[in-house]
A and B are shown apart, each in its own frame.
Chain A
Amino acid sequence: MELRRSDIILSRLAAGPSILLLFVWMVVPLAMTIYFSFLNYNLLEPGMEQWTGLLNYEFFFTDPAFGKALLNTLVMVGMIIILSVILGLLTAVLLNQDFWGRGITRVLAISPFFIMPTVSALLWKNMLMHPVSGFFAWLFDLVNLEPIDWLADFPLGSIIMMITWQWVPFAALILLTSLQSLDESQVEAAKIDGAGPIRMFLYITVPHLMRSVVVVILIESIFLLTIFAEIFVTTGGGPGLETTNIAFLVYSQALLQFDVGGAAAGGVVAVILANIVAVFLMRMIGKNLD
């Protein structure tokens, strides 16, 4: 299609507001954060700001909490994605079968996706995982097992379990949509060729779903890299540093220790990390955009 000059101007005008807004949204606070990261800036000592060069970064990187938080972030994002994709796929395949009450089960199964993170965290922490009066404690009691103090004994695992519950429905939703667009004639042909259900699943369904799986991974990592509310409400990053991720580490530095400079340095590091992950993901998804 030939582009006229007026067309080019028009399309710039149309795309302009979005791009400009996002640019300002990204650049202005980021520039301020970078500036703060070179200052000795504590909210408890107003007016004492001083240029300190890379000192904040040095503190942040040499803080043993940094390595731990980085590891926790990667473990959380990785585990939750793997679990939610596998469980979501199984759920989607199941809900795609023909059975009685399928419509209602779909509505029930996707419900966790609508629950706000703070509510789900409070709900899991108290009513389900409470070591004495929680529902899980009762289940363990039923089978004569010693109840587990989930958030104290398996803090990271508990958080992963809780957040996976929120994201399984999302993965199932997208994969279900994709399953419904599976070409019936292809399935029929494979059936006639004598392919069993497992072979059909592996050679027809799974390849068809790959694009959707990539999309699920992309969207989930965007949200999971910045998990905050669930940790804030349940463990507060503890015990020790067991459930501190990068987002929570920066938060505790900024708002609990009032160290704006240090938090800003952490923020810059977090942004750089996010961009490294983004580059990988963008390569993956890039093919999907065409």
Chain B
Amino acid sequence: MANKKNYQKTLFTCTGWFVSLLLFFPIFWMIHTSFKTELDAFSMPPRFFFFDATLENYGIVQERSNYFHFALNSVILSFGSTLLGLLIAIPAAWAMAFRPSKRTRGTLMWILSTKMMPPVGVLVPLYLIFRDFKLLDTRIGLTIILMLINLPIIVWMLYTYFKEVPHPLLEAARLDGANLWQEIRHVLVPITFGGIASTFLLSVIFAWNEAFWTLNLTASDAAPLTAFIASYSSPEGLFWAKLSAASTMAVAPILIFGWFSQRQLVQGMTFGAVK
């Protein structure tokens, strides 16, 4: 019996690692290539071990375009839009979870359906609005757009977490004379902190990777890492090592962020589907 258990565990270990490494392989290959010389990056058969490891690609990429400028913009945009979104969404989710009316369900559906609007459908008008309000290529303009894009998901996720909170808990706070702000701040937020944290993480990831509005509404000042990497998509010969270095730089912050918050993310990503 113990033998069979061990055999089974070995089998799962092998398949588990195989599948995970398979899924991770493209990312590994990108990081791997970024340390090669351009010649080695292209060589056939590919060189796995015996190549001249170099950091020069990173230096060249940094020289060509100031990475930190783009990275800072990505941080400001993704965190700024997420915080702003949470600030607006928490009261809304509270109202829908604890003071539902006949229209609440319809409103929730409608909120989610706004997310299905194809961005291209409204690109031109939005571009014109941005131009007229001098918001093109500004961090504030893009923060608002990213906030609006993620708002439906934020409201929806928060709603599913808030719904799990027993009403009497909030009623008790109310009877003790707490106003709405205190009720949310001292009772609701602490209880649902895990859920709010996962919502926060997911929204940051989506905002970081958003590549339609960030490409179309920025030029340089507010351009985040999506624009940084897009400048390498033009066919200017095949410089795979440099492309890999730039790609690695663009995804490294969010990848590390995701790895560290993985546990919280996994726990929270149920969207109310798990009871």
Count of interface residues, chain A, beta-carbon cutoff 8 Å: 109
Evaluate contact between B125 and A174: CB separation under 8 angstroms.
Answer: no
User: Known: A28-B129, A29-B126, A110-B262. Contact between A250 and B26, CB under 8 A?
Assistant: no
Evaluate contact between B123 and A94: CB separation under 8 angstroms.
Answer: no
Assembled-state Cα–Cα distance A28/B125 (Å): 9
Evaluate contact between A178 and B233: CB separation under 8 angstroms.
Answer: no
Residue B212 is within 8 A (CB to CB) of chain A in the complex: yes
Residue A132 is within 8 A (CB to CB) of chain B in the complex: yes
Q: Which residues of B contact A12 (CB under 8 A)?
A: 95
Residue A190 is within 8 A (CB to CB) of chain B in the complex: no
**What is the distance, in angstroms, from A245's C-beta to the closest C-beta of chain B?**
10
A8, A18, A260: the one contacting B111 at CB < 8 Å is A18
Residue of A with least CB distance to B128: A32
Residue B76 is within 8 A (CB to CB) of chain A in the complex: no
Assembled-state Cα–Cα distance A4/B254 (Å): 46
Residue A36 is within 8 A (CB to CB) of chain B in the complex: yes
Q: Which residues of B contact A29 (CB under 8 A)?
A: 122, 125-126, 129
Evaluate contact between B12 and A33: CB separation under 8 angstroms.
Answer: no
Among the stretches A45-53, A55-63, A198-206, A274-282, the one at the interface with B is A274-282
**What is the distance, in angstroms, from A96's C-beta to the closest C-beta of chain B?**
10
User: Known: A118-B233, A260-B124. Contact between A99 and B23, CB under 8 A?
Assistant: no
Evaluate contact between B229 and A122: CB separation under 8 angstroms.
Answer: yes
Among the stretches B49-57, B60-68, B134-142, B244-252, the one at the interface with A is B244-252
Majority SS at the chain A contact face: helix
Q: Which residues of A contact B233 (CB under 8 A)?
A: 118, 121-122, 233
Residue B220 is within 8 A (CB to CB) of chain A in the complex: no
Residue A117 is within 8 A (CB to CB) of chain B in the complex: yes
User: Known: A3-B99, A122-B243, A173-B265. Contact between A108 and B29, CB under 8 A?
Assistant: no
Q: Could you list 26 A-B pairs, sorted by A, with CB under 8 Å? A: A8-B101, A11-B101, A16-B92, A21-B148, A22-B152, A32-B129, A91-B23, A100-B13, A109-B20, A111-B255, A115-B251, A117-B211, A118-B211, A118-B229, A119-B247, A122-B233, A126-B238, A126-B243, A141-B44, A173-B266, A177-B269, A211-B274, A219-B271, A250-B120, A263-B120, A266-B120
